[in-house]
Structure 1
Amino acid sequence: MKMLAFRSCVSTIALVAAGVALPVAAQTVTPDAAAQADPTVSQAASAGANSAQDAAPGQIPDAAQASEDIVVTATVGDRSRFRTSISVSQVSQEAIQNFTPRSEAEVLRNIPGLQPSDTAGPGGNANIGVRGIPVSTGGSEYVALQEDGLPTVLFGDINFGNNDYWIRFDQNVSRVEAVRGGSASTFASQAPGAVVNYISKTGDKEGGQIAYSNGLGYREHRIDFDYGTPVSDTLRFHVGGYARNGGGLTNERFNILRGYQIKGNVTKDFADNKGFVRLYFKRLDEQAPTNTTTPSLAKLDGNKVTGFSPLPTFDGRDGSSYSVYNRSFQYLDYDGGGVRRAEVQGIAPKVTSIGGQVHYVLNDAITIDDTIRYQWIKGNFTTQFINVQPLNGAGGVIGSTVNGLLVGSARYAAGPNVGQVYTGAYVNNNPNINTLMKDMDNFANNLTISGKLDVGGGKITATGGFFAMRQNIVQDWHVNRQISELNGENAAPLDLFSITGQQLTAAGQAGFNDNWGTCCSRRVDLQYTDYAPYLQVGYETGGLNLDASVRYDNVHGEGTAQGGVAGPNTLVRDALGTASIPSLVLSPTVEKIDYNDDYVSWSVGALYAFGSQTSIFARASRGGRFNADRRVLSGNFNADGSLNGQGKSTSVNFLNQQEVGVKQRGEIGAGSYTVEITGFRSTLTENNYDFTRINNPAPNNDPNISNGYRSYGIEFTSRLNYGNFHLAVDATYSNSKITDSATAALVGNRPGGLPEFLYVVSPSYDAGLVAFGVSVNGQTATRSDDFNLYTVTGSTFVNGFVTVRPVDNIELGLNVNNLFDKLGFRGGGTVNPLLSPTQGVFSNTALYGRTVTGSIRYRF
């Protein structure tokens, strides 16, 4: 009787939540064919299933049945979402495609618990947080992005090498699966917060598609294709990819966006259902814009930012730093090659990847899985940053000292106004950056042996594994001081002249390699190797599942790093004359890195299923996160490369998490629903170094980070299918606080850039001939920074799609992002009250304005 009352109560909560939810993005996940055939199928076998590809267009799968999909990410892979004691989301390829994500971070907005600042653009460089834990340096410190179970790079926050540089969502992806907290600590390295896995189609059923899409009102042309099929009863393949080019979402007059990806795999099944062997390959070669800062006017009410409007010459919705007048710039070579020229390409990754996977069923009790991959990676990060500085007045360029002389005037250095005096209100004084990512290769291998044993009325399972990964980080940084007009479309460089008429800059460049000081005139040649054995043991009887897991990471770092020292001035000539440009060159002092560090992560969980409709779970975890290249050139190493006292105390950050949750599924008349609610608590002690803070206004200009954080909150996810109608709701509430800090003023503050409430809500309707839907996604107010100087208003954005199928196999699509063309921001930012007490300049990256894409798709 008590159990019946409990289930009725949970069902009522689920129905109310689904009924009152605002509309969100459709997420359709079909049952995994392999998992349905054998509910104990291994992680590797399930990863190869092709559920999304098998789903027929226009067919809405049963929401409750979808919760039976086997989880293959950061777990043993033999339990369904409903029966595993972790928080997991599975998002189908079709659901993501409906809302045309404009970056990898936008793909992740449909996953509760994650906090992606999805404003960096298609090139990447997004900040991806999780469960109220901030991204203090950039990238995704505690979140791993994987392809078919292996991380794209070992560390998600590599300087100029974040994990979203090297991965692209396309039609090859069957589904995106994400595990937050829990077993992410022990089934993956360097990802205690979350693991996001892009799972590939593998050709289980014959079929494919080809699509052409075109920007309406902006230049972006894209062709997608994929095809998979069984060749015989034991052989199958899948191949696909895309090519695109154009001016990007900001509609530049040249092809800042261009390139392609091609991926494929071939699978050979063993006889007698003993498993399979699979080969993978991938080639990604493209350049894509990345946004850094797109400033706007901010309406101020005391210490509150209550709204935004465009600057007179810059609209954050479609303005950018890419210009026909800065398609290339000069930089000073470190190897004595003099002044060279770099093409502005945004982020330009080149990845060649080959890999393999073996799944072998030794007998009824023992299964062996091994996944291996080598990636040849290089590229460049070449772009112009933006910062607003007045031309005149307090803090202005005119009257300031540049290269030892007082500035008397600024003149256009290129464009139709070349040589004329610049009289605009603001200039952009942020650097242009050319980082040569010369060698980012990596090798990864993950081997597991899983066993199961029936004991009385229950079953014991055990999985032992060994993960090994080697990551190269070989880069040259060229961070040049640059002066340009503030203009959102085709900004021109500005040359500065002294009060006596002496030219101080050339083509807008005021210095080579010296914008962020000696730390960032940099060359690194580093290699990190992570060896990690791990063990999981579980017991299942009736509705009860218990499991515990432990992981031991031993990380070795080696290599060298060089900062900068003052070098000779360089004479540079442009259209206005010749300037003597100061520079930094590589220091003859080489920092050596040669050390080991190790740590233990663990996770313990329990789940109880009350029949087939309701389960509850609890879990506690502790996961380590190794600080890698962001620790060099910041006082952490002895002369022999070993860690000094500071280095030892700050080399590993630990994230502790506790979570409890309930999972409910059932029927509503002719429909079905699922609801999952997870309460979490997280604590983190973090030590890190962020060189980009050096030039920030005080007090937020200390690059050293030593903080303790506490966050607690709730994740909510729900799916409702009723006939042709589908409703999806994802939301996260997090209460975050800085509990301890080397900077006493921060204690008690909310970390900057983190909203308390994030949500994505969307309804869709698919009648076969026509399908349509909207997605409402937003967040509440954030603090501008860790000092909580300002509170920044929240933003809500609406996307939509319409699909028409006039004949069999043909689809015509119209997708709209930011339907109401709203100017808004994710995260915090810098507020400079330049104009008046009620109006200032807000600096962060705005979401793109309204973009409309038309497409035609042929399925076969």
Structure 2
Amino acid sequence: MKATLYLCASVSAIAVAMPAAAQTTTADPLATAQTTTATGNDTSADQAAAQATLDAGKDIVVTAASPGRSRFRSSISVSQLSQDAVRDFTPRSEAEVLRAIPGIQPQDTAGPGGNSNIGVRGIPVSTGGSEYVALQEDGLPVTLFGDMNFGNNDYWLRFDNNVERVEAVRGGSASTFASQAPGAVINYISKTGDKPGGEIGISEGLSIRETRIDGDYGGRLSDSLRYHVGGYFRTGSGGDHVDYDILRGYQIKGNITKDLAGDRGFIRISVKRLDEHAPTNTVQPSIAKIDGKNVSDFQPLPTFDARTGSTYSIYNRSFQYLTNDGQVRNANVEGIHPRVFSIGGQIHYKATDWLTIDNNFRYSDISGNFTTQFLNVAPTSSILGSTVNGGVVGSLRYAAGPKAGQTFTGPYVNNNPNINVFMRDMGSIANNLSLAAKQNGLGGTFTATAGWFHMSQNISQEWHVNPQISELNGRNEVPLDLFSTTGRQLSVAGQTGFNSNWGTCCARDVNLTYTDDAPFLNLAYSGHGLDLDGSVRFDRVSGVGTALGGVTGPTVTVTDALGSAALPSLVAGGPVERINYLKSYTSWSLGALYEVGANTSVFARASRGGRFNGDRRVLGGNFNADGSLNAQGQSTAINFLEQQEIGLKQRGGFSGGSYSFELTGFHSKLTEVNYDFTRINNPAPNNNPNLSNGYRAYGVEFTGNVSSGRFRLTADLTYTAAKITSSLSDPITAGNRPSGIPQFQYNIQPSYDAGLFAIGASVDGQTNVASDNFNTYFIAGSTFVNGFIKVRPVDRLELGVNVNNLFNTLGYRTGGLGFTITPTSGLFQNSAVYGRIVTASARFRF
């Protein structure tokens, strides 16, 4: 009923998407990798039109910015990626889409299911997910928090033909035009049917087993009514080279827009359905060279090649788990399985020549499963002789497959858990209302924008984290059963217990709701080549609900092909932790831009944005019995990110060509308190789950493009100098480089379009990163090359071949050494970039 009332209000009350969602579909020739031609056999007309648009300055920014400003006249750092530019390089995950955005530091190796870490401007991802970066669809956040346990924001959206462009704002106004996103806002902007036509296409893996069908179509039903609908279906193994369809599912999106008479605005209804199983990867190990603190020269293990290896196996397509009421059940391994249904309403209404009212609403019904096998390499010798379930381990035996019952003699095993998390309800209601008034004066235009953002986010989950032993094999690993020195079976199907791998923290059951109400105000002036703006946002966030941790459960006797064993367990139970509290905080941003000439502008901005710590605070000692915050909770509820930036924007022409670039210098400062339960099992000193650190980073972002005739070059470069300035939790780390932050990151894309054919490449890489905040090791950076070729034999038909990781490079974005093998080599662990993947495609546009 509540959702219905919000929807009715959104469609009938005079309002529209916040400034971040009052969309335009005008092409942006200044956009990063924006004008790749794919329709027809001559690009000259497209280039001329792009230059005309550039000269007119109509590249309107619709994400986290003052309304009605072009990219060139906005005192913020903006990147815009077109549909074709992204698709040319076939990203294998949502995080890979973001590699072409300077300042964004995605660890994009988790795979198509998501679970990626997304950092920004030298601020590390301390606990996983996307703490300071919001992912949006059409101006509203996908989730309220980007780093929810087993609920990161990249689970719930997919890039497909429905997306017109991806727009990203780093720093600055992200603090005040969005909640929980002081670092950056990245917005997937949908097509809306203002450009008639569509496409149907199929792509087939040549080096992997994957088939994908895409299609979309949009146009006008009448002079005032337009629509767009599209989606995809895919199936196969993807880059994980699995022998069953671990990747399978679909997304369908659509919208219908009623344009109001007299160019007064529009009313739009949109819907989305996503239902997909997709793999996520935690570790693909390699042998690495050790030279002091430097780790490099990655090589495959005899039984595991990180470029193709996976823990998904025909022998672990399901596993057993224990419910909280003591029942043994079976869980199918699905990777990450998001189920999303959303419906939204958007109104943009120009009430008068000086007043515009916007409202954007979305109701999302979200649930799913996170069911996968994690990986951690351990020497077999560390298992033999240890005590497990009351017995001393004397041997390991294959629990399934052609060697079932035979003794395992390999040097390494996988001793990480299998995980089954029921994401019962991750749904949300979001609404953004804004009123923008403008008035001429002092030779320019004054604009005032005021509004109110509301979002309610559910987090209802049940966790099952089972200790598991398997062989280390990148293709169809087999669970290993443990047997005592007296011959007693100590595990079943590789499992040595139920729900107990990470201790009492993680046999968890939570039912939480977080609600954010945020009024905001922006004042701006534009005139005489000068743009000034200031904005403030007041977030009032409440959390209510309950959480249960683990208590000792029953000992359960279960069987497999080798026999039976009595396995101990933890179950969610014991004292209920109640959550019932409210915190408020204020964010602000000030910016100025001066247009030096028609083609040059300079800008400066300062901001301070808050970030509320949500479900990662539960079961960490932060609450009183009545659900209020105790002293520790009060001091750890909010983190603040301060940023200052100065920038130069330049555009122009030369010998029939054109160029544009942005150069931004930034300074970031963060004091963060957080909690990471996964550190509990780490070796000392990196095993303190309580994090309390200060960070500082400064750097330079560059984004630019050059077009000359049929040739185009885009480049996105980021230099970052980051440091831990202080640490209460780990004082020894003060002065170190934060983990996972490269000093230099780059993405360079040259392309040539001859009309009949087009060819292009992407050179993407980074320098070394610290393995942890203790700077125990520095992990060598890598460069990866992607490429594409497209042929257009007849009008509207395009045939193509895409290659990811052309040179089959074995490399990582981050990670650490598990253990040394010799003084100069060790076992390295983290998720790796996929090896060479070749796909062929055929697309017909109509």
> TM-score scaled by structure 1?
0.94
* SS state at 1:482 partner: coil
Deviation at 1:834, TM superposition (A): 3.2
Deviation at 1:563, TM superposition (A): 0.2
The residue number in structure 2 matching 1:359 is 348
The residue number in structure 2 matching 1:650 is 636
The residue number in structure 2 matching 1:344 is 333
Deviation at 1:77, TM superposition (A): 2.6
1:290-309 aligned at under 5 Å gives the runs 290-309=280-299
The residue number in structure 1 matching 2:783 is 796
Residues 324 and 707 of structure 1, relative CA distance in 2, 3 Å threshold: same
Q: Distance in 1 between matches of 2:437 and 2:820?
A: 66
1:59-458 aligned at under 5 Å gives the runs 59=43, 61=47, 62=50, 65-66=53-54, 68-336=58-326, 338-392=327-381, 396-458=382-444
1:773 and 2:760 aligned: yes
Q: Distance in 2 between matches of 1:88 and 1:205?
A: 24
CA contact (8 A) 1:64 1:672 kept: no
* SS state at 2:359 partner: strand
CA contact (8 A) 2:194 2:220 kept: yes
Residues 549 and 174 of structure 1, relative CA distance in 2, 3 Å threshold: same
CA contact (8 A) 1:64 1:673 kept: no
Query: Residue 602 of structure 1: which of 585, 588, 595 is its match?
Result: 588
Matched to 1:779, the amino acid is Q
Query: Residue 560 of structure 1: which of 546, 557, 581 is its match?
Result: 546
* SS state at 2:478 partner: coil
CA contact (8 A) 1:112 1:717 kept: yes
Instruction: Tell me whether 455-464 or 311-320 shows the greater mean CA deviation.
Output: 455-464
Q: Distance in 1 between matches of 2:27 and 2:713?
A: 24
1:614 and 2:600 aligned: yes
1:751 and 2:738 aligned: yes
Deviation at 1:47, TM superposition (A): 4.0
CA contact (8 A) 1:45 1:275 kept: no
Deviation at 1:253, TM superposition (A): 1.1
Query: Residue 649 of structure 2: which of 646, 663, 680 is its match?
Result: 663
The residue number in structure 1 matching 2:495 is 509
1:57 and 2:57 aligned: no
Matched to 1:221, the amino acid is T
Aligned residues: 815
CA contact (8 A) 1:50 1:174 kept: no
Cα offsets for 1:377-436 (capped at 9, x unmatched)? 0000000000000012xxx11011212321100000000000000000100000000000
Q: Distance in 2 between matches of 1:577 and 1:70?
A: 67
> TM-score scaled by structure 2?
0.95
Matched to 2:363, the amino acid is Y
CA contact (8 A) 2:19 2:64 kept: no
Matched to 2:283, the amino acid is T
Cα offsets for 1:305-356 (capped at 9, x unmatched)? 12100111001000000000000000001134x1000000000000000001
Residues 725 and 385 of structure 1, relative CA distance in 2, 3 Å threshold: same
Q: Distance in 1 between matches of 2:770 and 2:38?
A: 45
Residues 115 and 439 of structure 1, relative CA distance in 2, 3 Å threshold: same
Cα offsets for 1:712-766 (capped at 9, x unmatched)? 0000001100011000000100000000101111100000111100000010000
Q: Distance in 2 between matches of 1:541 and 1:354?
A: 40
* SS state at 1:95 partner: helix
Cα offsets for 1:253-308 (capped at 9, x unmatched)? 11100000000000001111111100000000010000011111011112211210
1:686 and 2:700 aligned: no
The residue number in structure 2 matching 1:471 is 457
1:629 and 2:612 aligned: no
User: Among the aligned pairs, what percent are the same residue?
Assistant: 65
Deviation at 1:807, TM superposition (A): 0.4
Residues 456 and 834 of structure 1, relative CA distance in 2, 3 Å threshold: closer
Cα offsets for 1:594-621 (capped at 9, x unmatched)? 0000000000000000121100000000
Cα offsets for 1:537-578 (capped at 9, x unmatched)? 011121001100000000010000000011121101011111
Deviation at 1:43, TM superposition (A): 5.4
CA contact (8 A) 1:99 1:817 kept: yes
The residue number in structure 2 matching 1:16 is none
Q: Distance in 2 between matches of 1:181 and 1:119?
A: 24
Structure 1 gaps of 5+ residues are 1-40
Matched to 2:351, the amino acid is L
1:500 and 2:486 aligned: yes
Q: Distance in 1 between matches of 2:21 and 2:374?
A: 43
Q: Distance in 2 between matches of 1:64 and 1:782?
A: 43
* SS state at 1:563 partner: strand
Deviation at 1:833, TM superposition (A): 3.5
Residues 711 and 303 of structure 1, relative CA distance in 2, 3 Å threshold: same
Matched to 2:218, the amino acid is G
Q: Distance in 2 between matches of 1:578 and 1:840?
A: 37
CA contact (8 A) 2:65 2:177 kept: yes
Residues 188 and 550 of structure 1, relative CA distance in 2, 3 Å threshold: same
Residues 806 and 439 of structure 1, relative CA distance in 2, 3 Å threshold: same
CA contact (8 A) 1:87 1:181 kept: yes
* SS state at 1:253 partner: coil
1:446-595 aligned at under 5 Å gives the runs 446-595=432-581
Matched to 1:228, the amino acid is G
Matched to 1:232, the amino acid is S
Q: Distance in 2 between matches of 1:304 and 1:704?
A: 28
* SS state at 1:510 partner: coil
Q: Distance in 1 between matches of 2:783 and 2:202?
A: 30
Q: Distance in 2 between matches of 1:709 and 1:238?
A: 45
Cα offsets for 1:503-538 (capped at 9, x unmatched)? 100000001000000000100000000000000001
CA contact (8 A) 1:431 1:479 kept: yes
* SS state at 2:73 partner: coil
Query: Residue 818 of structure 1: which of 791, 799, 805 is its match?
Result: 805
CA contact (8 A) 2:26 2:60 kept: no
Matched to 2:804, the amino acid is N
Q: Distance in 2 between matches of 1:768 and 1:458?
A: 44
Q: Distance in 2 between matches of 1:724 and 1:731?
A: 23
The residue number in structure 1 matching 2:15 is none
Structure 1 vs Structure 2 CA RMSD: 1.4
Deviation at 1:48, TM superposition (A): 5.6
Q: Distance in 1 between matches of 2:678 and 2:177?
A: 32
CA contact (8 A) 1:185 1:621 kept: yes
Residues 458 and 232 of structure 1, relative CA distance in 2, 3 Å threshold: same
Residues 634 and 838 of structure 1, relative CA distance in 2, 3 Å threshold: same
* SS state at 2:366 partner: strand
Q: Distance in 1 between matches of 2:398 and 2:38?
A: 58
Q: Distance in 2 between matches of 1:310 and 1:755?
A: 24
* SS state at 1:434 partner: strand
Q: Distance in 1 between matches of 2:841 and 2:572?
A: 50
Q: Distance in 1 between matches of 2:51 and 2:298?
A: 40
Q: Distance in 1 between matches of 2:195 and 2:763?
A: 34
Deviation at 1:224, TM superposition (A): 0.1
Matched to 2:156, the amino acid is W
Q: Distance in 1 between matches of 2:20 and 2:615?
A: 32
Residues 797 and 56 of structure 1, relative CA distance in 2, 3 Å threshold: closer
* SS state at 1:137 partner: coil
